[in-house]
Structure 1
Amino acid sequence: MNVNLVWFRNDLRIHDNTALYQACKNKIQKVIAIFIATPKQWNSHFMSFKQSSFIYKHLILLEKNLNLLGIPFFYYEKPNFDASIPFLIEFCKKKHVKTLFFNKQYEINEKNRDKKIKKLLCLENISMIGYHDSIIVSPKLIYNSEKKKYIKYTPFKNKVFSYLDNKKIKCFPTPDICFKRIKDTSSKISYFSFPKEEFSTKLFPVGEDHAIQQLNTFFKKKYFNYALNRNFFGLNSTSLLSPYLSIGILSPRQCLAKIFKEKISFKNINNDKMTWLNELIWREFYKHTLNSYSLIGKEESIFFWEKKIKWNNNNQYFSFWKKGLTGYPIIDAAMRQLKKIGWMHNRLRMITASFLTKNLLIDWRKGARYFMSQLIDGDFSSNIGGWQWTASVGFDSVPYFRIFNPTIQSKKFDPEGKFIYSFIPELKKVPVKFIHNPEEWKDKKENNINYPSPIVNYQLTKKKFCEEFKKAKNNKEN
């Protein structure tokens, strides 16, 4: 009997899982599944301890769900990708696997691993079939009139919309139950050799059913006025679905299906749905660029002048930023939120990243790595793309117009200071009028509060940043 193996990675679900569905199409073939934990690799990729725990708890549920479908689930741990390669080859031989099914990943180490495995499996007459499951459109279908990949978001978005318009949305059903497949026993899932940290199950409940329910709840209660409310930090107006998308508990197709039901049409889509769709397409954009430009996977910019920037890299400033002790309340509240719950509002990610790179002049790579080490929704492509975008060294960059003034942003999107008060208890006595600039209140009232003065002057550092970027871009050696 032919054996099909489903290799789970960042697609820990049974609903709308392309590789799983395709492996189970032939009812007479035996199907088994595997997940290989690689703790040392995760450590080198700065995976957060909260995301580690999030993955583990979903693996437990995945094993249960697969067993109910009659699919044995095997769990193993190897230190890194290199060690997992020969193990997977031997596993396939031992289990008489005829075809290995998997969903593609786009990070450079993951792509190199998959290429090596495919080459070795071919020598054993074992097929390996991959699918573009974590994105909406295959990278092979999206390119400009010159057959080149996009580096600007808007033309990329327009091309994706052009491709999708009038197409039906196809979400794969869960495979049928087939108890005949049970002739093997699953291996017990022990907690991997990687630190874990508890996360809020109230904010991020565990399980596919909860993820789908959270998606449904968003469209029932939150998406109305999403375009207007999404930037306000104190409002529970975002979908909070990013952790589920990051490890594949939800697919982007499931999200798309909530917007369009059965058939995609951009003619009558309202502003709120379009705004949320844009967030999905930004995610798509970053995965496509990561797949197309290997420099991104190496934490490098596509612009060679970026190497000429003289980053300050003041370790004390970097420490203040990480701990939420910069003296800028909105920066500090955001960084403390990140540390506490492993998640941060997207606008706050831009504001804090802008402050680190353009006011403290600290290398964006240090910020990107720190974010990954804390985020429960850590996703390399979105994180690296977002940091390069904010630092003005990546795709769709405009250096002089993307400098976020933290005080103005704070007044605009947290006018009553509710977000700031909730994460900075030291400022509870500061009146709302001064909450965005408590230094002014201290000067006027001669009050002492256990909160630092601003570590840098915003205007002076903004000017210095612009000068430094101008020098780097105009360097004749570029």
Structure 2
Amino acid sequence: MSINLVWFRNDLRVHDNTALSKACDNKTEKVLAIFIATPVQWRSHCMSFKQSSFIYKNLILLEKNLNLLGIPFFYFEKSNFDSLIPFLIQFCRKKCISTLFYNKQYEINEIKRDESIKKLLNLEKINMLGYHDSIMVSPKLIFNSKKKSYIKFTPFKNKILNYLNNKEIKCFPSPSIRSVKIKNTFSKIVPFTFPKEKFSTQLFPVGEDNAIKKLNTFFKKKCFNYSLKRNFFGLSSTSLLSPYLSVGILSPRQCLAKIFKEKISFKNINNDKITWLNELIWREFYKHTLSAYSLISKEQSIFFWEKNIKWSNNDQHFSSWKNGTTGYPIIDAAMRQLKKTGWMHNRLRMITASFLTKNLLIDWRKGARYFMSQLIDGDFSSNIGGWQWTASVGFDSVPYFRILNPTIQSEKFDPKGKFIYSFCPELKKIPIKYIHHPEKWKNKKKYKINYPNPIVNYQSTKKYFCEEFTKAKNSK
């Protein structure tokens, strides 16, 4: 009798899991599941302690759900990919595995790991089947007229929409209970040796049932006027689904299926759903470019001149940015939100990244690594893509001379300072009129508050950055 093994990585769910569904197709075959933690690898990838905790808690629920289906779940811990590879081969040999099923990842280390395992399993006469599950469409199906991956978002989006518009959107149901029983000899999930940190289960309740409920709630209550409200920091207008997508508690297909309750044209979808779909397609775009260009996994830009930028890398400025003490209230509130909750509004990610790279002239890589070390929804492709986009050194990036003014952004999207007040309590005595530039109120009233003046001047640093960037682009 054949025995199938499902290797879980960043796909911690039983609903709409391609690898799990395919492994369970034949009801007469035995199915096992495995997850292998790699704490040393996680540390090198700057995984946040909150995300570690989020994964751990979701693993416990995944184990319960699999056991209810009659699928034994095995948990192990190996330091890194180098030690994982021989262990997994040995496990497959010991359990007489016929086929290893998995969902693909697109980072270079993960691709090399999977290629090495496949070669070794071939020697053992064990099949290894991988699926494109964390994205909506396989990278092999979306390319330009030159048969290459798109580097511009708009033509990519149009190609994706055209492809999806001609396909029926289907999600795999949770597998039925296995008819073949296996003695329950699974290994207990013990706490990771990798550090864990508490996160708000009110903001991010654990488990795929809660993730699906959160998705449904978004469409019932929040999606209305999403296109108008999504940029306002003080409103609970975003879906808050990114942590579930990042570790695979939800699939992008489930989100897509929610947009289409019936098979209809994209032209008939309301603007709010289209706006949210656009966010999903940006996520898809970064996955596809990561798959096509290994330079991204190495934290490199596709533009050769990027190496000519003379980053200042002022440690004091970097520390002020991380700790939320720059003297720019919206920057400080955002960075404190990140540290406290492990999450940050997408527009705030752009504003804080723009400030670090274009006003403080600090290397975008340092910012990207810090974000990953804090984010509960840390996703390498989206994070690195977003940072390169904001720093104007990546695919379809914002023009380098476009530098977000934190004060103007604050006035526009947090007009009454509700978001600022919630994360900068030392500013609670500042009148709304001055909340976006408290230094003016301090100077006018000569009050003393425990809040710094701006560490840099926006206009002068903007001018300096543009000059340096122009030099870098023009140098050989």
- Does the aligned pair in 2 maintain the 1:168–1:264 contact within 8 Å? no
For residues 190 and 61 of structure 1, the distance between their equivalents in structure 2, rounded to whole angstroms, comes to 13
User: Superposition pairs for residues 68-217 of structure 1, below 5 Å?
Assistant: 68-217=68-217
- Does the aligned pair in 2 maintain the 1:359–1:462 contact within 8 Å? yes
- Does the aligned pair in 2 maintain the 1:49–1:197 contact within 8 Å? yes
For residues 464 and 387 of structure 2, the distance between their equivalents in structure 1, rounded to whole angstroms, comes to 20
Q: Per-residue deviation at 1:424? A: 0.3
Q: Per-residue deviation at 1:399? A: 2.8
SS at match of 2:180: helix
Q: Give the share of equivalent positions with the same residue, in percent.
A: 80
Q: Per-residue deviation at 1:384? A: 0.2
AA in 2 matched with 1:28: T
- Does the aligned pair in 2 maintain the 1:212–1:250 contact within 8 Å? yes
AA in 2 matched with 1:387: W
- Does the aligned pair in 1 maintain the 2:357–2:364 contact within 8 Å? yes
SS at match of 2:267: coil
- Does the aligned pair in 1 maintain the 2:400–2:469 contact within 8 Å? no
Gaps of 5+ in 1: none
- Does the aligned pair in 2 maintain the 1:166–1:263 contact within 8 Å? no
Q: Per-residue deviation at 1:133? A: 0.1
What is the match of residue 16 of structure 2? 16
For residues 110 and 262 of structure 2, the distance between their equivalents in structure 1, rounded to whole angstroms, comes to 33
Deviations 1:218-249 (A, max 9, x none): 00000000000000000000000000000000
- Does the aligned pair in 1 maintain the 2:27–2:179 contact within 8 Å? no
AA in 2 matched with 1:99: T
- Does the aligned pair in 2 maintain the 1:142–1:149 contact within 8 Å? yes
SS at match of 1:267: helix
- Does the aligned pair in 1 maintain the 2:7–2:102 contact within 8 Å? yes
1:328 aligns with 2:325: no
What is the match of residue 250 of structure 2? 250
Deviations 1:39-89 (A, max 9, x none): 000000000000000000000001100000000000000000010000000
For residues 467 and 309 of structure 1, the distance between their equivalents in structure 2, rounded to whole angstroms, comes to 10
For residues 177 and 138 of structure 2, the distance between their equivalents in structure 1, rounded to whole angstroms, comes to 30
- Does the aligned pair in 1 maintain the 2:102–2:131 contact within 8 Å? yes
Deviations 1:195-224 (A, max 9, x none): 000000000000110000000000000000
SS at match of 2:249: coil
Aligned-residue CA RMSD (Å):
0.8
SS at match of 2:102: strand
What is the match of residue 234 of structure 1? 234
1:45 aligns with 2:45: yes
- Does the aligned pair in 1 maintain the 2:40–2:80 contact within 8 Å? yes
1:352 aligns with 2:352: yes
For residues 20 and 2 of structure 1, the distance between their equivalents in structure 2, rounded to whole angstroms, comes to 15
- Does the aligned pair in 2 maintain the 1:5–1:101 contact within 8 Å? yes
- Does the aligned pair in 2 maintain the 1:324–1:334 contact within 8 Å? yes
What is the match of residue 396 of structure 1? 396
What is the match of residue 439 of structure 2? 439
AA in 2 matched with 1:242: S
For residues 254 and 56 of structure 1, the distance between their equivalents in structure 2, rounded to whole angstroms, comes to 23
SS at match of 2:14: coil
- Does the aligned pair in 2 maintain the 1:343–1:376 contact within 8 Å? yes
- Does the aligned pair in 2 maintain the 1:256–1:277 contact within 8 Å? yes
- Does the aligned pair in 1 maintain the 2:27–2:180 contact within 8 Å? no
SS at match of 1:376: coil
Deviations 1:379-421 (A, max 9, x none): 0000000000000000002333431000000000000000000
For residues 369 and 400 of structure 2, the distance between their equivalents in structure 1, rounded to whole angstroms, comes to 24
- How many residue pairs were aligned? 476
- Does the aligned pair in 2 maintain the 1:167–1:264 contact within 8 Å? no
For residues 82 and 212 of structure 1, the distance between their equivalents in structure 2, rounded to whole angstroms, comes to 35
What is the match of residue 281 of structure 2? 281
SS at match of 1:6: strand
Q: Per-residue deviation at 1:17? A: 0.2
What is the match of residue 408 of structure 1? 408
1:387 aligns with 2:403: no
For residues 235 and 74 of structure 1, the distance between their equivalents in structure 2, rounded to whole angstroms, comes to 42
Which deviates more, 261-270 or 423-432?
A: 261-270
- Does the aligned pair in 2 maintain the 1:169–1:262 contact within 8 Å? no
- Does the aligned pair in 2 maintain the 1:3–1:31 contact within 8 Å? yes
State TM-score, norm by structure 2: 0.99
Which deviates more, 146-155 or 406-415?
A: 146-155
For residues 175 and 379 of structure 1, the distance between their equivalents in structure 2, rounded to whole angstroms, comes to 27
Deviations 1:425-455 (A, max 9, x none): 1100000000000011011111111100000
AA in 2 matched with 1:235: L
Which deviates more, 264-273 or 126-135?
A: 264-273
Q: Per-residue deviation at 1:374? A: 0.3
Q: Per-residue deviation at 1:181? A: 2.8
Deviations 1:321-359 (A, max 9, x none): 000000000000000000000000000000000000000
AA in 2 matched with 1:174: S
Runs of 4 or more consecutive aligned structure 1 residues displaced over 3 Å after TM superposition: none
SS at match of 1:10: coil
AA in 1 matched with 2:453: S
- Does the aligned pair in 1 maintain the 2:143–2:150 contact within 8 Å? yes
State TM-score, norm by structure 1: 0.99
- Does the aligned pair in 2 maintain the 1:69–1:179 contact within 8 Å? no
